[in-house]
A and B are shown apart, each in its own frame.
Chain A
Amino acid sequence: MTSLDIAVLSVRRVRRRSLRPLRTLALRRFRLTASTPRELVVPLLTPIMFALIIAPSLKTALHTGAAYEAFVAIGTVGLLIPLNTMFAGLGVIVDRVSGAQRELLTAPISRGLLVVGNLLVALAITGLQIAVLLAVSVVRGIHFEATAIGAVWFVAAAALFTIGMYGMAEILASRVPRQEEYIARVPAIAILPWFLAGALFPITALPHFLTWVAKFLPLTHALALMRYGLLDDSTGLHAIWGLSDRAAMAALSLAVVAGFALLLIATSIRVFSRSAVR
C-alpha cells in the first residue's frame, strides 16, 4: 500500500466517522419533526395565503399585471424561509427543556454536529415547502421563466439564506431559556425584514433612507437573486448594486448571502457549544 493509498483511506475513514453520526442526528430530528406534522404545515399557511389570495387581490385592486403575482410568489419564499427556520429552532429549546439534549451532549461526537444535523433537516423541509409553494403557484396559473442556470441561482440563494436563518434560530434558541420568549422574538426576526426587503414591492418604492437600510438586509439580496433566477428579472439586483452586468450583480449578492450564511452558522455552532455546557 502506498502512502497515497493510506492517505485516501484515512480521509475516507474520517469522513465516514463524521457522516454516520450526522446522518443519525438528522434522522432523529426528521423523525421528531414528522411526529408533529403541524411543524411541516403551519409555516406553509401564511406564504400560501400571500401567494394565492393576497397577491391576486392586490393585482386586481392595484390594476397590475400577471408579473406582479409571480413577483409576490417569490416574495413569499422570503417569508416562508424565516418562518420555517424559526419554527425549526424551537426543537432546540424542546430538546433542552425535555432533557434529551443532555444525552446528545454526552455522545462522543463534536457538538457542532448537533447543530449541523438539525440544519440538514431544516434545509430539507424548507426545500420541500418551497417546492410545494411554487407548485401551488404554477397550478394557480403563475408563470415562472426558469432556465437551468436560473434554477441554480434560485436554489443557491434559497439554500444559503435558509442556512443563515437557521443559524439565527439556533443562536436565539441557545440564548433564550423559554419557548414563550423565543416566540415573542420571532416576528421581529422573521417578519419585520420581509416588509423592507422588497418582498411585495421593489425596494426603490421605499423612502430613500429605508432603501439604504434594505440594501444591507441579506433577505433583500436573496429575494433579488431568486427573482433573477426564476423570473429572469434583474431589477432587484440593479436596485441594490446599480451595475449593468447582471451576472456580476448576482455574484455579489450571492457573496453577501453566502457570507451571511457562513457567519450565522459558525456563530450558532460556537454559541451552542458554549451555552450547552455550564
Chain B
Amino acid sequence: MDLAIEAIQLEKTYPGGVEAVKRIDFHVEAGEVFALLGPNGAGKSTTVGMLTTTIVPTGGTARLAGFDVAAKPLGARAVSSVVFQEPVVDSALTGRQNLELHASLWRVKPHEAKARIEGLAETLGLAEIVGRSVRSYSGGERRRLEIARALLSHPRVLFLDEPTVGLDPRIRAELLDVIAGLRDRSELTVLLTTHYLDEAERLCDRIAIMHRGRIVALDTPEALLAGLGHELVELRVDGSAESALASLRERGVAGEDAFAVGSRLTVPLHDRSSQQTIAAVHELGLARAISAREPTLDDVYLRLTGDSLAEAA
C-alpha cells in the first residue's frame, strides 16, 4: 500500500494548555481524496498546519510521501502544496507573477513552468486574466488562481483547507466543480478540510469526522451513512427528549443508536418501517412534529458528538 499521508498519535497542545489535536491516527493512500470534517475548533486546520510544517506537533509522528514532517520538513514541503482557508496571494503582483513565484520556489524548471502556467490558466479559466494584477480579481478568480498555483509543482499531496469558506453560492459551486476535476489526476492525493457536508460527501473517498481534537469516525461516506440504515424518523418533543427516547426504547420502537439532542429525537429505522414507527410515536403522544427521511452525514455527526455540524460550524 502506497501511503501519501500518515498521522500516528499526532497531537498538538498550544501554550496555555489548549489541546487542539489529541493523538489522532489516520492514513491516506496515494490518489485518494480524503476529508477532515468537523466544525470550527475541531482541530482540522491545526492538523493541516502540522502536516504542512507550519505548526509544530507536540507529540506523535506525521509523514508525507514517506517524509517525516518534523525530521525532513523540506522533503515534506517539496511533495505538497496548500490552498489555505484565507486568500493567500500577493495582491500587488499579477496572477502570472504569483504563479512564477511558486514555480520557482518549488524548483520547477523555467521552461516547464511556463508551459504548466499556460496549461493550468487555460484549464482553470484564468487565461484571460492571468496577466492582470490580482487586486482586480473576484473572490472566485483568486481561489482558482490559488488552486492553479498549488498544482503547478505537480504535488503528490494537495491540502485544501476550507477552500470554499466565505464564497458566495455561485462561486462555491463553480469551485466545487474545479475540485471535483482534481479527482481525475490519479497521481494526486487530496486532503480537504471542511465543515460542509455536501462537499465531503460529493468529493471524498473517505471522511474522518473530527470533534474536539479527536477523530470520532473514519470511513467512506456510504459506510458512515449505512450505520444509520436507509431511513430514519425525526421528531420534536415538548418535554424531555431523553425520557421520550427511553419510552421509545422500552416499546421497541427505537434502537440503541437512536439519539436525542435538545428537543430533537432521531430514530434510525434499519428494518422497521416508517409508518409503523410514526404510528407508535403518535400512539404514545410524544411528538409535536414528526417526519421520515434519509439519513445525512449531519445525523452521523450528531449521533457521534451530540452537536449538529451545521450549528456547530
Across the interface, do A106 and B77 meet the contact criterion of CB distance under 8 Å?
yes
Q: Interface 1/0s, chain B 80-91, versus A by CB < 8 A? A: 111010111111
Smallest CB-CB separation from B87: which chain A residue? A99
Number of residues on chain B facing chain A (CB within 8 A): 31
In the bound complex, CA of A168 to CA of B106 (Å): 29
Across the interface, do A35 and B104 meet the contact criterion of CB distance under 8 Å?
no
Across the interface, do B92 and A32 meet the contact criterion of CB distance under 8 Å?
yes
Across the interface, do A103 and B102 meet the contact criterion of CB distance under 8 Å?
yes
Q: List chain A residues, Cβ under 8 A from B106.
A: 107-108
Q: List chain B residues, Cβ under 8 A from A35.
A: 92-93
B54 within 8 A of A: yes
B178 within 8 A of A: no
In the bound complex, CA of A28 to CA of B107 (Å): 15
In the assembled complex, the CB of A41 is this many whole angstroms from the nearest CB of chain B, namely: 17
Across the interface, do A108 and B93 meet the contact criterion of CB distance under 8 Å?
no
Across the interface, do A102 and B54 meet the contact criterion of CB distance under 8 Å?
yes
B220 within 8 A of A: no
Known: A99-B86, A100-B88, A107-B105. A32 touches B55 (CB 8 A): no
State which residues 81-126 of B face A: CB under 8 Å. 81-82, 84, 86-93, 97, 101-102, 104-107
Q: Interface 1/0s, chain B 51-77, versus A by CB < 8 A? A: 011111000000000000000001101
B78 within 8 A of A: yes
In the assembled complex, the CB of B289 is this many whole angstroms from the nearest CB of chain A, namely: 45
A31 within 8 A of B: yes
Best-buried of B80, B107, B149 by chain A (most CB within 10 Å): B107
Across the interface, do B54 and A277 meet the contact criterion of CB distance under 8 Å?
yes
Q: Interface 1/0s, chain A 86-109, versus B by CB < 8 A? A: 000000000000111011111111
A20 within 8 A of B: yes
A244 within 8 A of B: no
Q: List chain B residues, Cβ under 8 A from A104.
A: 105
Q: Interface 1/0s, chain A 102-123, versus B by CB < 8 A? A: 1111111110000000000000
Number of residues on chain A facing chain B (CB within 8 A): 25
Across the interface, do A103 and B84 meet the contact criterion of CB distance under 8 Å?
yes
Known: A35-B92, A100-B90. A278 touches B74 (CB 8 A): no
State which residues 142-196 of B face A: CB under 8 Å. 149
A21 within 8 A of B: yes
Q: Interface 1/0s, chain A 30-53, versus B by CB < 8 A? A: 011001100000000000000000
Across the interface, do A102 and B56 meet the contact criterion of CB distance under 8 Å?
no
Q: List chain A residues, Cβ under 8 A from B78.
A: 108
Ranked 5 nearest A-B pairs via Cβ: A108-B78, A35-B92, A24-B104, A107-B105, A108-B77
> Which B residues are closer than 8 A to A by beta carbons?
14, 49, 52-56, 74-75, 77-78, 80-82, 84, 86-93, 97, 101-102, 104-107, 149
Pairs A–B under 8 Å by Cβ, sample size 28: A20-B104, A21-B104, A21-B105, A21-B107, A31-B92, A35-B92, A98-B90, A99-B86, A99-B87, A100-B89, A100-B90, A102-B88, A103-B89, A103-B149, A105-B54, A106-B52, A106-B80, A106-B82, A108-B105, A108-B106, A109-B74, A110-B74, A277-B53, A277-B54, A277-B55, A277-B56, A278-B49, A278-B55
> Which A residues are closer than 8 A to B by beta carbons?
17, 20-21, 24-25, 28, 31-32, 35-36, 98-100, 102-110, 276-278
Q: A98-B88, A102-B54, A103-B102 are in contact. List 11 more A-B contacts (CB 8 A).
A: A17-B107, A20-B107, A24-B105, A28-B101, A32-B92, A100-B88, A103-B84, A104-B105, A105-B54, A110-B74, A278-B54
